[in-house]
Structure 1
Amino acid sequence: MALIFTALIATPLERPAEMRSVSESARGIDWSNLPPLERFQARDGTWLGFRHYAPKGTATDRGAIFIHGSSGSSGTVNHALTAAIAAHGVETWALDARGHGASGTRGDIGYVGQLEDDLVDFVAHVRKSAPDLPLTLVGHSAGGGFSLRVAATPIMQDLFVRTVLVAPYLGYDAPTNKPHSGGWANADIPRFLGLAALRKLGIDCCAQLPVLAFAVPANSERILTPTYSDRLMRNFATHGYRLDLPAVTHPMTIFGGAEDEMMISDKYAETVQAIKPSVDVKVIEGVNHMGMVTNPKAVNAIAEDVATRGSGQS
């Protein structure tokens, strides 16, 4: 027990060096049409942030809820994609997942499973103004992993007609990952293993400790979330892609970028379709990880997919 507790504190979590491909992805984005931040109240009384994009042009009578990637929020570079989805006639909501942006304590949540509870509460809030709108869940990177987790959960499957995963992080054991996510993330392995050992002993403590750090720029904490606690890291992810994929009952599409510096996109199809052959996988040439939510080529392809493909398509 003493060795376990020593592991929790002995090795400090180190933030990796800034990842330029992520930091520079904000260049050229039109922020003039970023919707104002709104808030709704979750079941625990916490006010969580989101942005609402009204559909433009010819309305499709479809809706989408977007989940950002690790460290991000509804007001970061994924705005290029959410705005494009709305421009294709899809009413779109971008959520600040708890622990990010304007939602709760940065880098932490109260318990594993709270993010699912928040999403149920958010859909209930959306239903006040759009009671019958078919909703597609769209998630990028770690938000894509969380969206897979959601798609495999029985209570969630009735909330969404379809799921779209954009450059998803499928879990630590997925063959689609590059080591340390290509330099984006650094984990405190001794602390993580120590906390896991405590849970196996029936001791659920210290899950608020940070275990994962991201390669965000210095002094960016006002906008980005630099670290995740153990419980946020475990919740904002899949249960394990081998566990989640067989439980998915609604249509699912995965988009990857051929030049992704964090994921190995050409392995998505073989990895996922070996378990769930019905999952559609598309790889976009010439696009890197953040380009999947900022590059016009990728943004338009994903937005058109969300706007035109129905719940009956896989």
Structure 2
Amino acid sequence: MAMRLLRGVLNLLKWGLCAVGAAALLFTALIATPLERPVELRSVSDSRKGVDMSTLPALERFQARDGTWLGYRHYAASGATTGAGAIFIHGSSGSSGTVNHALTAALAARSVETWALDIRGHGASGTRGDIGYVGQLEDDLIDFVAHVRKSAPDLPLTLIGHSAGAGFALRVAATPIMQDLFVRTVLIAPYLGYDAPTNRPHSGGWANADIPRYLGLAALRKLGIDCCAQLPVLAFAVPPNSERILVPTYSDRLMRNFATRGYRLDLPLVTHPVTIFGGAEDEMMISDKYAETVQAVKPSVDVKVIDGVNHMGMVTSPKAVSAIAEDVATRGAAGS
């Protein structure tokens, strides 16, 4: 009897030590693995050339539900009203004050009342590269739409996102509590999730993930331990010394929130029209696969590919900017 008890105690001790060892390995993966920033991607850095930033509207702020002041820019519609409005979501690392100004200004020039938001963790919104919890970005967008509604209570709003911001826009379009905030969603060169066949490896050199850290955090969450989500897991190929303008890394929780939950999950839940614009020369995404990928899940998605345009050119080149702005101006009021 005593020997059986002893063997039982020893077995418990053995498994306990194994568990401690596994936990130690997980925490070592979380802390010890370095996150390496990719070499500057010139196609992104060079996209600023030719964009007239002198007309950038002043930064404004609104207060989110947690008391944090978040930044945005308002582009007042010029000319005869089209009866359409738009909220623009920038891509990874960016803000309302980066090169997407070429597109947002073009929308306003076509009489689309436009607001460009600094997503929390970017620009003038919160702590650079981090958020408080997964789901906070949705809460912020709900609060921002409520702020916009103070001055434009009945304006039909199109949600527009670029790159990672397009992935987040798809996430929003699939969220029941947010679907009726917008009449239409426009996704520009969207990142459709890690498993999408439209991705190039490492986003064409733009992003580098710390896979051991990401997997370690995911394993801990499965064990019911939600810690260390503030650790950086994703680095971008931004220029050296550009941190004043661009965000160089994302925390685990920001990376998980500023994205689609997965196009196969989100697309079937979308109740309003969706249009995807891609660039035929996109170095981060494989644009000619957008149609077959998304229409296999939701046939009604409208896909347009613009020849001769790369990833950042989708929000900077006159050809793409004109096509997207005209589309939003003519279809935004009806949500068609």
Q: Settle same-fold status: TM greater than 0.5.
A: yes
Question: Is contact 2:278-2:304 (8 Å) kept?
Answer: yes
Q: Which residue matches 2:142?
A: 120
> Which residue of 274, 277, 290 corresponds with 1:255?
277
Q: Deviations over 1:119-177 (max 9, x none)?
A: 00000000000000000000000000000000000011110000000000000000000
Query: After TM superposition, what 4+ stretches of structure 1 lie above 3 angstroms from structure 2?
Result: 310-314
Q: 1:83 aligned to 2:83?
A: no
5+ long unaligned stretches in structure 2: 1-22
TM-score by length of 2: 0.93
> Which residue of 110, 116, 123 corresponds with 1:94?
116
**1:311: Cα distance to partner?**
6.3
**1:313: Cα distance to partner?**
6.0
> Which residue of 306, 315, 324 corresponds with 1:293?
315
Q: Which residue matches 2:8?
A: none
Question: Is contact 1:250-1:311 (8 Å) kept?
Answer: no
Q: Which residue matches 1:18?
A: 40
**Structure number with bigger Rg:** 2
Q: Give the CA RMSD over aligned residues.
A: 0.8
Give the alignment of 1:275-286 within 5 angstroms: 275-286=297-308
Structure with higher helix content: 2
> Which residue of 67, 70, 92 corresponds with 1:48?
70
Aligned equivalents of 1:185, 1:305: Cα separation in 2:
30
TM-score by length of 1: 0.99
Q: Which residue matches 1:28?
A: 50
Give the alignment of 1:65-84 within 5 angstroms: 65-84=87-106
**1:257: Cα distance to partner?**
0.0
Give the alignment of 1:1-314 within 5 angstroms: 1-310=23-332
Aligned equivalents of 2:97, 2:226: Cα separation in 1:
34
Q: Deviations over 1:203-231 (max 9, x none)?
A: 00000000000000000000000000000
**1:57: Cα distance to partner?**
1.8
Aligned equivalents of 1:66, 1:141: Cα separation in 2:
12
Aligned equivalents of 1:5, 1:297: Cα separation in 2:
49
Task: Identify if the C-alpha distance between structure 1 residues 135 and 194 changes in structure 2 by more than 3 Å, giving closer, same or farther.
Answer: same
Indicate the percent of aligned positions where both proteins have the same amino acid: 87
Q: In structure 2, the residue corresponding to 1:18 is in which secondary structure?
A: coil
**In structure 2, what residue type is equivalent to 1:38?**
E
5+ long unaligned stretches in structure 1: none
Q: Deviations over 1:252-310 (max 9, x none)?
A: 00000000000000000000000000000000000000000000000000000000015
**1:30: Cα distance to partner?**
1.1
**1:312: Cα distance to partner?**
5.6
Question: Is contact 2:85-2:333 (8 Å) kept?
Answer: no
Aligned equivalents of 1:124, 1:312: Cα separation in 2:
21
**In structure 1, what residue type is equivalent to 2:208?**
N
Q: In structure 1, the residue corresponding to 2:74 is in which secondary structure?
A: strand
Question: Is contact 1:162-1:311 (8 Å) kept?
Answer: no
Q: In structure 1, the residue corresponding to 2:54 is in which secondary structure?
A: coil
